Amino acid sequence: MSSRSFSLMGLWPVILRWRNLILLAVTLALVVSALVAWQMPNVYRSTAIFYPTNPESTDPDRIVEEGGRLALGGRAEDLDRIITIGQSQPVAAIIIKRYNLYEHYEAGKPGTEKADQAVLDEYNDNLSIVHSNRDAIELAFHDTDKVRAANIANTLVQVIDSINQRLTMENRGRIITLYRNRTMFLEKESAQVRDSLEDARQRYGIFGRLGLETESGYESRYLAKELAETETELRRAEGELAAGGGSAARVAGLRRAMRGLTQADGGNIINLENYVAGADLVTALYMRYESLQERLVEAQATYENARLAISSDISSIYVVQKAYPATREAKPIRPLIVLSAMFITFALSVIFITLLELYRNNLSLMKPKAVNRSEQVA
Write out pLDDT tens, residues 152-211: 999 999 999 888 877 766 666 677 788 889 899 999 998 998 888 788 777 766 666 554
| 135 membership: H or E segment, kind and range | none
Is the separation of the CB atoms in 334 and 38 below 8 Å? yes
The 3-class secondary structure across 207-262, one letter per residue, is: CCCCCCCCCCCHHHHHHHHHHHHHHHHHHHHHHHHHCCCCCHHHHHHHHHHHHHHH
Residue 160 CA to residue 129 CA, distance in Å, equals: 11
Q: What is the pLDDT of residue 212?
A: 42
Q: What is the pLDDT of residue 146?
A: 92
Q: What is the pLDDT of residue 28?
A: 92
Residue 77 CA to residue 80 CA, distance in Å, equals: 5
Q: What is the pLDDT of residue 69?
A: 46
Q: What is the pLDDT of residue 246?
A: 67
Q: What is the pLDDT of residue 68?
A: 44
Residue 266 CA to residue 162 CA, distance in Å, equals: 73
Q: What is the pLDDT of residue 199?
A: 81
- Per DSSP, the chain holds a count of helices (H) and strands (E) of 13, 4
Q: What pTM did the predictor assign?
A: 0.56
Q: What is the pLDDT of residue 1?
A: 42
Q: What is the pLDDT of residue 290?
A: 87
Q: What is the pLDDT of residue 184?
A: 92
Q: What is the pLDDT of residue 208?
A: 60
The residues of the chain scoring below 50 in pLDDT are 1-3, 58, 60, 63-64, 66-70, 211-216, 378
In this predicted model, what pLDDT tens digit does every residue of 125-157 receive, in sequence order? Answer: 999 999 888 888 999 999 999 999 999 999 999
Q: What is the pLDDT of residue 337?
A: 86
Q: What is the pLDDT of residue 64?
A: 46
